[in-house]
Structure 1
Amino acid sequence: MGVFKIKIIFFDTETTGLDCSCCKIIELAMVTVEDGLITEEYDKFIKIGEPLSPKITQITSITDNMLESEGVDEKIIAQDLKDRLTPNTLMIAHNAQFDLSFIYHLLKKHYPQEADEIVASLNWLDTVTVFKDRKKYPHKLIDAVHYYNIEEVNFHRAIDDTKALYEVTKALKNERNDLEEYINIFGYNPKYGVSGYRFSFIEYKSQYYCYNMRDSDEILPKK
Protein backbone atom coordinates (compact mmCIF):
# COMPACT_ATOMS: atom_id res chain seq x y z
CA MET A 1 0.00 0.00 0.00
CA GLY A 2 3.07 2.18 0.55
CA VAL A 3 0.55 3.58 3.01
CA PHE A 4 -0.03 7.27 2.38
CA LYS A 5 1.11 6.98 -1.27
CA ILE A 6 -2.47 6.57 -2.45
CA LYS A 7 -5.64 8.51 -1.70
CA ILE A 8 -6.61 7.81 1.89
CA ILE A 9 -9.42 9.26 3.98
CA PHE A 10 -9.13 9.02 7.75
CA PHE A 11 -12.61 9.56 9.13
CA ASP A 12 -14.74 9.59 12.24
CA THR A 13 -18.35 10.26 13.15
CA GLU A 14 -20.06 11.49 16.27
CA THR A 15 -23.62 10.22 16.52
CA THR A 16 -26.75 10.40 18.65
CA GLY A 17 -26.39 6.72 19.59
CA LEU A 18 -25.11 3.33 18.54
CA ASP A 19 -27.80 2.08 16.15
CA CYS A 20 -27.41 3.47 12.63
CA SER A 21 -30.99 2.54 11.72
CA CYS A 22 -32.48 5.00 14.21
CA CYS A 23 -29.63 7.27 15.33
CA LYS A 24 -28.04 10.12 13.38
CA ILE A 25 -24.61 11.52 12.60
CA ILE A 26 -24.09 14.89 14.30
CA GLU A 27 -20.47 15.46 13.26
CA LEU A 28 -18.41 14.07 10.39
CA ALA A 29 -14.68 14.61 10.07
CA MET A 30 -12.33 13.49 7.32
CA VAL A 31 -8.62 14.01 6.79
CA THR A 32 -7.66 13.28 3.18
CA VAL A 33 -4.09 12.25 2.36
CA GLU A 34 -2.87 12.00 -1.22
CA ASP A 35 0.67 10.99 -2.18
CA GLY A 36 1.67 11.29 1.44
CA LEU A 37 0.38 14.85 1.92
CA ILE A 38 -2.73 16.09 3.74
CA THR A 39 -4.88 17.74 1.06
CA GLU A 40 -8.04 18.42 3.04
CA GLU A 41 -9.30 18.62 6.60
CA TYR A 42 -13.08 18.37 6.63
CA ASP A 43 -15.24 18.84 9.72
CA LYS A 44 -18.95 19.61 9.71
CA PHE A 45 -21.82 19.52 12.17
CA ILE A 46 -25.19 18.29 10.97
CA LYS A 47 -28.57 19.74 11.85
CA ILE A 48 -30.75 16.86 12.99
CA GLY A 49 -33.96 18.71 13.84
CA GLU A 50 -34.25 17.27 17.33
CA PRO A 51 -32.61 17.86 20.71
CA LEU A 52 -29.57 15.89 21.76
CA SER A 53 -29.72 13.74 24.84
CA PRO A 54 -27.80 15.13 27.84
CA LYS A 55 -25.61 12.00 27.72
CA ILE A 56 -24.46 12.67 24.14
CA THR A 57 -23.71 16.30 24.95
CA GLN A 58 -21.74 15.17 28.00
CA ILE A 59 -19.71 12.67 25.95
CA THR A 60 -19.05 14.84 22.90
CA SER A 61 -19.37 18.41 24.26
CA ILE A 62 -21.59 19.07 21.23
CA THR A 63 -24.68 21.10 22.07
CA ASP A 64 -28.01 21.76 20.38
CA ASN A 65 -26.92 25.35 19.84
CA MET A 66 -23.73 24.24 18.05
CA LEU A 67 -25.72 22.06 15.67
CA GLU A 68 -28.28 24.77 15.02
CA SER A 69 -25.81 27.63 14.52
CA GLU A 70 -22.95 25.77 12.80
CA GLY A 71 -24.63 22.68 11.38
CA VAL A 72 -25.54 22.01 7.75
CA ASP A 73 -28.34 20.00 6.21
CA GLU A 74 -27.78 16.25 6.03
CA LYS A 75 -28.18 16.39 2.24
CA ILE A 76 -25.02 18.50 2.01
CA ILE A 77 -23.07 15.88 3.97
CA ALA A 78 -24.38 13.13 1.69
CA GLN A 79 -23.28 15.11 -1.38
CA ASP A 80 -19.86 15.79 0.16
CA LEU A 81 -19.39 12.09 0.83
CA LYS A 82 -20.47 11.16 -2.69
CA ASP A 83 -17.97 13.65 -4.14
CA ARG A 84 -15.05 12.51 -2.00
CA LEU A 85 -15.55 8.73 -1.76
CA THR A 86 -14.08 7.98 -5.17
CA PRO A 87 -13.32 4.38 -6.24
CA ASN A 88 -10.29 2.69 -4.67
CA THR A 89 -9.91 5.31 -1.95
CA LEU A 90 -8.66 3.70 1.26
CA MET A 91 -10.99 4.55 4.14
CA ILE A 92 -9.47 4.26 7.62
CA ALA A 93 -11.36 4.43 10.91
CA HIS A 94 -10.98 3.15 14.45
CA ASN A 95 -13.82 0.64 14.76
CA ALA A 96 -14.59 1.08 11.07
CA GLN A 97 -17.67 -1.15 11.17
CA PHE A 98 -19.46 1.48 13.24
CA ASP A 99 -18.57 4.48 11.09
CA LEU A 100 -19.05 2.61 7.81
CA SER A 101 -22.56 1.56 8.90
CA PHE A 102 -23.55 5.16 9.67
CA ILE A 103 -22.07 6.55 6.46
CA TYR A 104 -23.77 3.84 4.41
CA HIS A 105 -27.12 4.51 6.06
CA LEU A 106 -26.83 8.23 5.32
CA LEU A 107 -25.86 7.62 1.68
CA LYS A 108 -28.62 5.05 1.26
CA LYS A 109 -31.17 7.59 2.46
CA HIS A 110 -30.14 10.23 -0.08
CA TYR A 111 -28.71 8.09 -2.91
CA PRO A 112 -30.61 4.80 -2.69
CA GLN A 113 -29.54 3.66 -6.16
CA GLU A 114 -25.85 4.53 -5.73
CA ALA A 115 -25.01 3.96 -2.06
CA ASP A 116 -24.10 0.29 -2.37
CA GLU A 117 -21.80 0.89 -5.31
CA ILE A 118 -20.11 3.83 -3.59
CA VAL A 119 -19.12 1.96 -0.42
CA ALA A 120 -18.26 -1.26 -2.29
CA SER A 121 -15.88 0.61 -4.61
CA LEU A 122 -13.71 1.66 -1.66
CA ASN A 123 -11.15 -0.18 0.45
CA TRP A 124 -11.53 -0.23 4.23
CA LEU A 125 -9.01 -0.50 7.06
CA ASP A 126 -10.03 -0.88 10.69
CA THR A 127 -7.26 0.18 13.07
CA VAL A 128 -9.00 -1.53 16.00
CA THR A 129 -8.53 -4.86 14.23
CA VAL A 130 -4.83 -4.12 13.74
CA PHE A 131 -4.37 -2.85 17.29
CA LYS A 132 -5.99 -5.98 18.76
CA ASP A 133 -3.28 -8.06 17.07
CA ARG A 134 -0.62 -5.95 18.73
CA LYS A 135 -1.63 -5.11 22.28
CA LYS A 136 -3.73 -6.49 25.11
CA TYR A 137 -7.10 -4.98 26.06
CA PRO A 138 -8.26 -2.14 26.11
CA HIS A 139 -8.29 -1.01 22.47
CA LYS A 140 -9.98 2.39 22.29
CA LEU A 141 -8.37 5.16 20.27
CA ILE A 142 -7.17 6.84 23.46
CA ASP A 143 -5.43 3.58 24.43
CA ALA A 144 -3.59 3.53 21.11
CA VAL A 145 -2.61 7.18 21.55
CA HIS A 146 -1.16 6.42 24.98
CA TYR A 147 0.53 3.22 23.84
CA TYR A 148 2.35 4.94 20.97
CA ASN A 149 3.10 8.12 22.97
CA ILE A 150 1.06 10.36 20.68
CA GLU A 151 -0.01 13.79 21.86
CA GLU A 152 -3.51 13.71 23.31
CA VAL A 153 -6.42 15.44 21.64
CA ASN A 154 -9.98 16.35 22.58
CA PHE A 155 -11.38 12.83 22.28
CA HIS A 156 -15.01 12.34 21.23
CA ARG A 157 -14.83 15.25 18.82
CA ALA A 158 -14.65 13.83 15.34
CA ILE A 159 -11.96 16.08 13.85
CA ASP A 160 -9.63 15.60 16.82
CA ASP A 161 -10.19 11.85 16.82
CA THR A 162 -9.43 11.80 13.09
CA LYS A 163 -6.15 13.65 13.52
CA ALA A 164 -5.19 11.26 16.32
CA LEU A 165 -6.14 8.34 14.09
CA TYR A 166 -3.79 9.63 11.39
CA GLU A 167 -0.90 9.57 13.88
CA VAL A 168 -1.90 6.16 15.26
CA THR A 169 -1.97 4.68 11.76
CA LYS A 170 1.52 5.99 11.07
CA ALA A 171 2.69 4.46 14.35
CA LEU A 172 1.12 1.11 13.46
CA LYS A 173 2.82 1.18 10.07
CA ASN A 174 6.19 2.07 11.55
CA GLU A 175 5.86 -0.64 14.19
CA ARG A 176 5.26 -3.35 11.57
CA ASN A 177 4.55 -2.69 7.92
CA ASP A 178 1.69 -5.16 7.39
CA LEU A 179 -1.36 -2.90 7.18
CA GLU A 180 -2.08 -4.06 3.62
CA GLU A 181 -2.94 -7.47 5.04
CA TYR A 182 -5.86 -5.99 6.98
CA ILE A 183 -7.60 -4.19 4.13
CA ASN A 184 -11.28 -5.18 3.97
CA ILE A 185 -10.93 -7.50 6.98
CA PHE A 186 -12.76 -6.57 10.18
CA GLY A 187 -12.30 -8.44 13.41
CA TYR A 188 -15.20 -8.80 15.82
CA ASN A 189 -15.63 -10.01 19.36
CA PRO A 190 -17.20 -13.49 19.06
CA LYS A 191 -19.03 -12.87 22.33
CA TYR A 192 -21.10 -10.08 20.74
CA GLY A 193 -20.97 -10.80 17.02
CA VAL A 194 -20.98 -8.21 14.23
CA SER A 195 -22.90 -5.02 14.95
CA GLY A 196 -24.72 -3.12 12.23
CA TYR A 197 -24.79 -4.20 8.60
CA ARG A 198 -22.76 -7.11 7.29
CA PHE A 199 -21.19 -5.78 4.12
CA SER A 200 -20.47 -8.25 1.34
CA PHE A 201 -17.13 -6.60 0.49
CA ILE A 202 -15.82 -7.00 4.07
CA GLU A 203 -14.50 -10.30 5.41
CA TYR A 204 -15.54 -10.63 9.04
CA LYS A 205 -13.38 -12.76 11.32
CA SER A 206 -13.80 -13.53 15.00
CA GLN A 207 -10.92 -12.01 16.91
CA TYR A 208 -9.89 -12.97 20.41
CA TYR A 209 -7.80 -10.82 22.69
CA CYS A 210 -4.06 -11.30 22.78
CA TYR A 211 -1.50 -10.26 25.39
CA ASN A 212 1.36 -9.20 23.14
CA MET A 213 2.06 -8.60 19.46
CA ARG A 214 1.15 -11.62 17.38
CA ASP A 215 3.83 -13.11 15.15
CA SER A 216 3.51 -12.05 11.52
CA ASP A 217 2.23 -15.49 10.49
CA GLU A 218 -0.43 -15.48 13.26
CA ILE A 219 -2.17 -12.17 12.53
CA LEU A 220 -5.92 -12.25 11.99
CA PRO A 221 -5.83 -11.93 8.17
CA LYS A 222 -3.77 -15.12 7.90
CA LYS A 223 -6.05 -17.23 10.06
Structure 2
Amino acid sequence: MRRVSGNRINLDTPHLAEPALFARDEGSANDFEGDVWRREYVVVDLETTGLGADSQMTEIGAVRLKNGEIVDTFTTLVNPQMQIPPQITALTGITDLMVADAPHPDEAIRQFLHFAQLESSILIAHNASFDCGFLTRAATAANVEWPCPSVVDTLALARALLPRPLVSNHRLGTLMRHFKISNDCAHRALADATATAQVFAGLVAELRKLGGTDFADLKELPCFDNISRSRTDRL
Protein backbone atom coordinates (compact mmCIF):
# COMPACT_ATOMS: atom_id res chain seq x y z
CA MET A 1 0.00 0.00 0.00
CA ARG A 2 1.32 3.43 -0.91
CA ARG A 3 -0.24 6.60 0.39
CA VAL A 4 0.91 10.17 -0.21
CA SER A 5 -0.42 12.82 2.14
CA GLY A 6 -0.26 16.57 1.91
CA ASN A 7 0.76 16.62 -1.74
CA ARG A 8 -1.79 19.04 -3.14
CA ILE A 9 -2.35 19.01 -6.88
CA ASN A 10 -4.48 21.80 -8.33
CA LEU A 11 -6.81 20.51 -11.01
CA ASP A 12 -6.75 23.79 -12.93
CA THR A 13 -5.37 23.26 -16.44
CA PRO A 14 -4.94 25.91 -19.17
CA HIS A 15 -7.39 24.37 -21.64
CA LEU A 16 -10.37 24.54 -19.29
CA ALA A 17 -12.63 27.51 -19.75
CA GLU A 18 -13.11 28.49 -16.10
CA PRO A 19 -9.88 28.01 -14.17
CA ALA A 20 -11.29 29.80 -11.12
CA LEU A 21 -13.54 26.79 -10.64
CA PHE A 22 -10.62 24.71 -9.47
CA ALA A 23 -9.84 26.76 -6.40
CA ARG A 24 -11.95 27.76 -3.45
CA ASP A 25 -14.22 30.68 -4.30
CA GLU A 26 -13.43 34.07 -2.87
CA GLY A 27 -15.71 35.71 -0.37
CA SER A 28 -17.55 34.63 2.75
CA ALA A 29 -18.71 31.11 3.43
CA ASN A 30 -22.29 32.03 2.56
CA ASP A 31 -21.18 33.02 -0.94
CA PHE A 32 -20.22 29.48 -1.85
CA GLU A 33 -22.01 27.29 0.66
CA GLY A 34 -23.56 25.16 -2.07
CA ASP A 35 -20.62 25.17 -4.49
CA VAL A 36 -19.68 21.75 -5.85
CA TRP A 37 -16.12 22.17 -4.59
CA ARG A 38 -17.28 22.74 -1.03
CA ARG A 39 -17.85 18.98 -0.86
CA GLU A 40 -15.17 16.39 -0.26
CA TYR A 41 -14.84 13.60 -2.81
CA VAL A 42 -12.92 10.35 -3.13
CA VAL A 43 -12.28 9.25 -6.72
CA VAL A 44 -11.61 5.52 -7.09
CA ASP A 45 -10.49 3.20 -9.86
CA LEU A 46 -9.93 -0.55 -9.80
CA GLU A 47 -7.97 -3.01 -11.86
CA THR A 48 -9.43 -6.52 -11.86
CA THR A 49 -8.82 -10.00 -13.26
CA GLY A 50 -11.82 -9.59 -15.58
CA LEU A 51 -15.36 -8.30 -15.89
CA GLY A 52 -17.40 -11.21 -14.57
CA ALA A 53 -18.85 -11.90 -11.15
CA ASP A 54 -16.07 -14.41 -10.44
CA SER A 55 -13.33 -11.83 -11.12
CA GLN A 56 -11.28 -10.24 -8.36
CA MET A 57 -9.52 -6.94 -7.74
CA THR A 58 -5.81 -6.67 -8.49
CA GLU A 59 -5.32 -2.98 -7.65
CA ILE A 60 -7.14 -0.12 -5.94
CA GLY A 61 -6.26 3.52 -6.59
CA ALA A 62 -7.97 6.57 -5.13
CA VAL A 63 -7.50 10.31 -4.76
CA ARG A 64 -9.15 12.69 -2.32
CA LEU A 65 -10.51 15.99 -3.67
CA LYS A 66 -10.97 18.98 -1.40
CA ASN A 67 -11.64 22.52 -2.60
CA GLY A 68 -10.90 21.44 -6.15
CA GLU A 69 -7.48 19.98 -5.36
CA ILE A 70 -6.08 16.49 -4.99
CA VAL A 71 -4.92 16.52 -1.38
CA ASP A 72 -4.24 12.84 -0.73
CA THR A 73 -3.78 9.60 -2.65
CA PHE A 74 -4.05 5.88 -1.96
CA THR A 75 -2.88 2.89 -3.92
CA THR A 76 -2.42 -0.79 -3.22
CA LEU A 77 -1.98 -3.92 -5.25
CA VAL A 78 -4.34 -6.72 -4.24
CA ASN A 79 -3.67 -10.45 -4.24
CA PRO A 80 -6.72 -11.76 -6.13
CA GLN A 81 -6.26 -15.32 -4.83
CA MET A 82 -6.30 -16.51 -8.43
CA GLN A 83 -4.11 -16.32 -11.51
CA ILE A 84 -4.30 -13.14 -13.57
CA PRO A 85 -5.29 -13.96 -17.16
CA PRO A 86 -2.54 -13.19 -19.70
CA GLN A 87 -4.73 -10.71 -21.56
CA ILE A 88 -5.27 -8.74 -18.34
CA THR A 89 -1.54 -8.66 -17.64
CA ALA A 90 -0.99 -7.43 -21.20
CA LEU A 91 -3.53 -4.64 -20.59
CA THR A 92 -2.51 -3.51 -17.11
CA GLY A 93 1.06 -4.72 -16.74
CA ILE A 94 0.12 -6.32 -13.40
CA THR A 95 1.62 -9.80 -13.07
CA ASP A 96 1.09 -12.70 -10.69
CA LEU A 97 4.55 -12.02 -9.26
CA MET A 98 3.65 -8.39 -8.50
CA VAL A 99 0.61 -9.37 -6.44
CA ALA A 100 2.11 -12.44 -4.75
CA ASP A 101 2.91 -10.52 -1.55
CA ALA A 102 0.14 -7.93 -1.91
CA PRO A 103 -2.65 -7.61 0.68
CA HIS A 104 -5.49 -10.13 0.68
CA PRO A 105 -8.75 -8.58 -0.65
CA ASP A 106 -10.11 -8.45 2.92
CA GLU A 107 -7.18 -6.30 4.06
CA ALA A 108 -7.19 -4.19 0.89
CA ILE A 109 -10.85 -3.21 1.29
CA ARG A 110 -10.23 -2.28 4.93
CA GLN A 111 -7.29 -0.10 3.92
CA PHE A 112 -9.35 1.60 1.23
CA LEU A 113 -12.31 2.28 3.52
CA HIS A 114 -9.99 3.69 6.18
CA PHE A 115 -8.56 6.08 3.59
CA ALA A 116 -11.86 6.98 1.93
CA GLN A 117 -13.95 7.80 5.02
CA LEU A 118 -17.06 7.40 2.88
CA GLU A 119 -19.40 8.28 5.73
CA SER A 120 -18.45 11.91 5.09
CA SER A 121 -17.17 11.83 1.48
CA ILE A 122 -18.86 11.42 -1.89
CA LEU A 123 -17.51 8.61 -4.04
CA ILE A 124 -16.69 9.25 -7.72
CA ALA A 125 -15.90 6.62 -10.34
CA HIS A 126 -16.16 6.20 -14.09
CA ASN A 127 -18.82 3.56 -14.75
CA ALA A 128 -19.37 3.54 -11.00
CA SER A 129 -21.54 0.43 -10.87
CA PHE A 130 -18.53 -1.64 -11.95
CA ASP A 131 -16.19 -0.35 -9.26
CA CYS A 132 -18.85 -0.24 -6.55
CA GLY A 133 -19.89 -3.78 -7.40
CA PHE A 134 -16.38 -5.06 -6.69
CA LEU A 135 -15.95 -2.87 -3.61
CA THR A 136 -19.27 -3.83 -2.01
CA ARG A 137 -18.65 -7.50 -2.72
CA ALA A 138 -15.19 -7.26 -1.16
CA ALA A 139 -16.65 -5.54 1.90
CA THR A 140 -19.25 -8.27 2.29
CA ALA A 141 -16.61 -11.00 1.96
CA ALA A 142 -14.46 -9.27 4.58
CA ASN A 143 -17.46 -8.88 6.91
CA VAL A 144 -16.99 -5.11 6.77
CA GLU A 145 -19.97 -2.79 6.61
CA TRP A 146 -20.21 -0.89 3.33
CA PRO A 147 -21.08 2.73 4.22
CA CYS A 148 -23.49 3.20 1.26
CA PRO A 149 -22.01 6.54 0.17
CA SER A 150 -23.52 8.91 -2.33
CA VAL A 151 -21.91 8.16 -5.69
CA VAL A 152 -21.24 10.34 -8.73
CA ASP A 153 -20.70 8.41 -11.97
CA THR A 154 -18.58 10.44 -14.38
CA LEU A 155 -19.78 8.22 -17.24
CA ALA A 156 -23.40 9.28 -16.66
CA LEU A 157 -22.31 12.87 -15.97
CA ALA A 158 -20.47 13.00 -19.30
CA ARG A 159 -23.49 11.61 -21.13
CA ALA A 160 -25.62 14.35 -19.60
CA LEU A 161 -23.22 17.24 -20.23
CA LEU A 162 -21.36 16.19 -23.39
CA PRO A 163 -23.88 14.50 -25.68
CA ARG A 164 -22.81 13.22 -29.06
CA PRO A 165 -21.51 14.61 -31.39
CA LEU A 166 -19.56 16.77 -28.92
CA VAL A 167 -17.66 13.56 -28.17
CA SER A 168 -17.70 10.31 -30.13
CA ASN A 169 -18.30 8.22 -26.99
CA HIS A 170 -17.98 8.58 -23.24
CA ARG A 171 -15.09 6.27 -22.47
CA LEU A 172 -12.53 7.61 -20.04
CA GLY A 173 -9.85 7.83 -22.72
CA THR A 174 -12.14 9.77 -25.05
CA LEU A 175 -13.03 12.25 -22.30
CA MET A 176 -9.36 12.65 -21.44
CA ARG A 177 -8.61 13.58 -25.04
CA HIS A 178 -11.56 16.00 -25.06
CA PHE A 179 -10.18 17.79 -21.98
CA LYS A 180 -6.55 17.39 -23.12
CA ILE A 181 -5.62 15.27 -20.09
CA SER A 182 -2.52 13.10 -20.33
CA ASN A 183 -2.07 9.74 -18.63
CA ASP A 184 1.21 7.88 -19.05
CA CYS A 185 0.05 4.91 -16.95
CA ALA A 186 -3.37 4.06 -18.35
CA HIS A 187 -4.96 0.94 -16.86
CA ARG A 188 -3.17 1.42 -13.57
CA ALA A 189 -5.56 2.28 -10.79
CA LEU A 190 -4.01 5.42 -9.28
CA ALA A 191 -3.26 6.97 -12.68
CA ASP A 192 -6.81 6.30 -13.87
CA ALA A 193 -8.30 7.63 -10.61
CA THR A 194 -6.28 10.83 -11.07
CA ALA A 195 -7.46 11.10 -14.68
CA THR A 196 -11.07 10.56 -13.58
CA ALA A 197 -10.68 13.38 -11.05
CA GLN A 198 -9.46 15.67 -13.84
CA VAL A 199 -12.35 14.60 -16.06
CA PHE A 200 -14.76 15.36 -13.21
CA ALA A 201 -13.22 18.83 -12.92
CA GLY A 202 -13.73 19.39 -16.64
CA LEU A 203 -17.34 18.22 -16.41
CA VAL A 204 -18.02 20.56 -13.51
CA ALA A 205 -16.74 23.38 -15.75
CA GLU A 206 -19.25 22.23 -18.39
CA LEU A 207 -21.98 22.30 -15.74
CA ARG A 208 -21.11 25.91 -14.97
CA LYS A 209 -21.32 26.83 -18.64
CA LEU A 210 -24.94 25.66 -18.49
CA GLY A 211 -25.63 27.81 -15.44
CA GLY A 212 -25.14 25.17 -12.77
CA THR A 213 -23.03 26.36 -9.88
CA ASP A 214 -23.69 24.22 -6.86
CA PHE A 215 -24.16 20.76 -5.50
CA ALA A 216 -27.93 20.90 -5.88
CA ASP A 217 -27.50 21.29 -9.65
CA LEU A 218 -25.21 18.25 -9.72
CA LYS A 219 -27.74 16.17 -7.78
CA GLU A 220 -30.41 16.92 -10.39
CA LEU A 221 -28.40 15.11 -13.07
CA PRO A 222 -28.70 11.36 -13.68
CA CYS A 223 -25.07 10.82 -12.68
CA PHE A 224 -25.93 11.01 -9.00
CA ASP A 225 -26.75 7.78 -7.23
CA ASN A 226 -26.63 5.92 -3.96
CA ILE A 227 -25.30 2.40 -4.45
CA SER A 228 -26.18 0.06 -1.61
CA ARG A 229 -24.56 -3.16 -0.48
CA SER A 230 -27.19 -5.20 -2.29
CA ARG A 231 -26.45 -3.82 -5.74
CA THR A 232 -23.48 -6.00 -6.55
CA ASP A 233 -25.35 -7.31 -9.59
CA ARG A 234 -24.41 -4.12 -11.43
CA LEU A 235 -20.95 -5.37 -12.39
TM-score normalised over the length of structure 1: 0.74
26, 40, 47: which one aligns with 1:7: 40
Q: Hey, what's the Cα distance between the residues in 2 that align with 1:124 and 1:131?
A: 15
Aligned positions of 1:40-51 closer than 5 A:
40-51=72-83
Aligned position for 1:221: none
> Is the counterpart of residue 98 in structure 1 residue 130 in structure 2?
yes
Q: Secondary structure at the match of 1:197?
A: helix
Q: Hey, what's the Cα distance between the residues in 1 that align with 2:124 and 2:196?
A: 8
Q: Hey, what's the Cα distance between the residues in 1 that align with 2:176 and 2:203?
A: 11
8 Å CA contact 2:183–2:191 kept in 1: the answer is no
155, 161, 164: which one aligns with 2:192: 161
8 Å CA contact 2:74–2:112 kept in 1: the answer is no
Shift of 1:41: 0.7
Q: Hey, what's the Cα distance between the residues in 2 that align with 1:27 and 1:51?
A: 14
Q: Hey, what's the Cα distance between the residues in 1 that align with 2:67 and 2:179?
A: 24
AA aligned to 1:180 is K
AA aligned to 2:81 is G
49, 61, 73: which one aligns with 1:29: 61
219, 222, 234: which one aligns with 1:180: 219
Aligned position for 1:211: none
Shift of 1:36: 3.5
Aligned position for 2:28: none
For these two proteins, the number of residue pairs brought into alignment is: 184
Aligned position for 1:215: none
Aligned positions of 1:18-167 closer than 5 A:
18-19=51-52, 21-69=53-101, 71-83=102-114, 84-111=116-143, 114-115=145-146, 118-119=147-148, 122-133=149-160, 134-136=162-164, 137-167=168-198
Q: Secondary structure at the match of 2:36?
A: coil
> Cα 1:17–1:43, aligned 2, differ >3 Å: closer, same or farther?
same
Q: Hey, what's the Cα distance between the residues in 1 that align with 2:141 and 2:63?
A: 24
Q: Secondary structure at the match of 2:84?
A: coil
In structure 2, the gaps of 5 or more residues are 1-33, 213-217
Q: Deviations over 1:3-23 (max 9, x none)?
A: 33222101100111112x311
8 Å CA contact 1:6–1:36 kept in 2: the answer is no
Shift of 1:157: 0.9
User: Where do 4+ consecutive residues of structure 1 move more than 4 Å?
Assistant: none
Aligned position for 1:197: 233
Q: Hey, what's the Cα distance between the residues in 2 that align with 1:50 and 1:143?
A: 32
Q: Hey, what's the Cα distance between the residues in 2 that align with 1:127 and 1:33?
A: 15
AA aligned to 2:137 is H
Q: Hey, what's the Cα distance between the residues in 2 that align with 1:127 and 1:89?
A: 16
8 Å CA contact 1:12–1:159 kept in 2: the answer is yes
TM-score normalised over the length of structure 2: 0.71
Q: Hey, what's the Cα distance between the residues in 1 that align with 2:63 and 2:142?
A: 23
